């Protein structure tokens, strides 16, 4: 069985791999594309999502594709489904740091710490606080109450925030996808933590923004395409909502002249939430090895993706 793996992970993987398989280690995009063509198993994540998608598409014989990323928008899922490729993703690998970033965004918005930092850069001593909102007794709607969403909820609860989640099934008292829009006006924080699928693209548009409190903030740590950009810019300029904390954007990176850079009350963190840690590769390697053992043994693997749903 041919297994294609990133050379960066070799120190974490090599000594634990079972004998009797052809293991190839790639160091470049070109090598990955060549090696994956006749591979059975592959972990071929690239530093640009489009490269990952292009490389995976070349793996016509892939039986199992491993990715350390939770989002699968770079992959041609119908193509993989047609080939019978099993896909497992990295849900949970970066969940803690992404959840912490969501809380960071909410705290920064509540205290307007962005304005404090800019004043310090100007060496201007403020005599009053630009943000005076306490999180205690506020309410948050977390759209996408999976691994990351639940971690966000437990952390916000520690600040006294009442958290309502949204799930496809409505489990554990969460709202279903057809129920959250009519309740938007109840929340101070609307947090996007859902996977990017056909159902979630542009899920926040003019109607949803108009339904939010004028004092509410939109917090996005999911994918940029979940928000209609023109509607968000209009809502920010007209103060329809109080502001937005955007970790991902669409496109990425934002061009220098993009209006989001200068939109009022907008905090941008350049999709750094998942990168703000040092444990991604060790966690990914451990997950790959557990799943490799399960795959070779014919047992269910962790984080197997439903290719029809996209997560």
* pLDDT of res. 48: 82
List, in sequence order, every residue forming a beta bridge with 220; answer none if it has no partner: 192, 246
d(CA 221, CA 49): 17
d(CA 242, CA 212): 10
Averaged pLDDT score across all residues of the chain? 96
Topology given in CATH for the domain delimited by 2-93+277-296:
Rossmann fold (3.40.50)
* pLDDT of res. 135: 98
For 126-148, what is the mean pLDDT? Answer: 97
Q: Is the pLDDT of residue 311 over 90?
A: no
Q: Is the pLDDT of residue 288 over 90?
A: yes
Topology given in CATH for the domain delimited by 95-275:
Rossmann fold (3.40.50)
d(CA 165, CA 99): 14
DSSP notation for 10-41: HHHHGGGSPSSSEEEEE-SHHHHHHHHTT-SE
Ramachandran region of residue 253, left (φ > 0), alpha (ψ -120 to 50) or beta? beta
pLDDT tens readout for residues 159-211: 999 999 999 999 999 999 999 999 999 999 999 999 888 889 999 999 999 99
* pLDDT of res. 65: 98
Global pTM reads: 0.89
For 261-269, what is the mean pLDDT? Answer: 98
Domain range annotation of the chain: 2-93+277-296, 95-275
d(CA 280, CA 274): 8
Rounded to 5 degrees, what are φ and ψ at 152? -60, -45
d(CA 173, CA 165): 8
d(CA 68, CA 54): 17
List, in sequence order, every residue forming a beta bridge with 25; answer none if it has no partner: 5
d(CA 202, CA 165): 19
For 142-149, what is the mean pLDDT? Answer: 96
DSSP notation for 112-175: THHHHHHHHHTT---SS-S----STT-EEEEE--SHHHHHHHHHHHTTT-EEEEE-SS-GGGPB
pLDDT tens readout for residues 40-64: 999 999 888 889 999 999 999 999 9
pLDDT tens readout for residues 112-132: 999 999 999 999 999 999 999
For 89-118, what is the mean pLDDT? Answer: 97
The structure tokens listed for 58 are: 């070349």
């Amino acid at each position: 069985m041919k297994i294609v793996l990133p050379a960066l992970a070799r120190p974490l993987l090599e000594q634990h791999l079972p004998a009797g398989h052809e293991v190839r280690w790639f160091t470049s995009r070109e090598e990955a594309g060549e090696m994956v063509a006749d591979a059975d198993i592959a972990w071929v994540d690239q530093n640009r999502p489009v490269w990952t998608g292009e490389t995976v598409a070349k793996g016509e014989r892939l039986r199992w594709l491993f990715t350390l990323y939770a989002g699968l928008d770079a992959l041609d899922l119908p193509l993989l489904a047609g080939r019978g490729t099993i896909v497992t993703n990295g849900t949970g690998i970066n969940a803690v740091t992404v959840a912490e970033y969501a809380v960071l965004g909410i705290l920064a918005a509540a205290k307007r710490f962005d304005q404090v930092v800019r004043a310090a850069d100007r060496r201007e001593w403020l005599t009053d606080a630009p943000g005076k909102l306490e999180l205690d007794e506020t309410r948050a709607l977390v759209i996408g109450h999976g691994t990351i969403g639940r971690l966000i909820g437990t952390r916000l609860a520690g600040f006294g925030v009442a958290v309502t989640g949204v799930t496809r099934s409505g489990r554990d008292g969460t709202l279903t996808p057809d129920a959250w829009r009519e309740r938007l006006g109840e929340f101070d924080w609307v947090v996007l933590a859902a996977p990017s699928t056909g159902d979630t693209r542009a899920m926040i548009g003019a109607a949803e923004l108009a339904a939010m409190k004028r004092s509410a903030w939109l917090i996005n740590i999911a994918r940029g395409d979940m928000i209609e950009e023109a509607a968000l810019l209009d809502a920010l300029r007209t103060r329809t909502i109080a502001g937005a904390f955007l970790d991902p954007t669409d496109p990425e990176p934002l061009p220098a002249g993009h209006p989001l850079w200068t939109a009022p009350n907008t905090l941008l963190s350049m999709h750094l939430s998942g990168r703000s840690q040092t444990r991604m590769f060790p966690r990914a390697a451990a997950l790959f090895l557990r799943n490799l053992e399960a795959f070779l043994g014919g047992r269910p693997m962790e984080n197997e993706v439903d290719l029809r749903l996209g997560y």
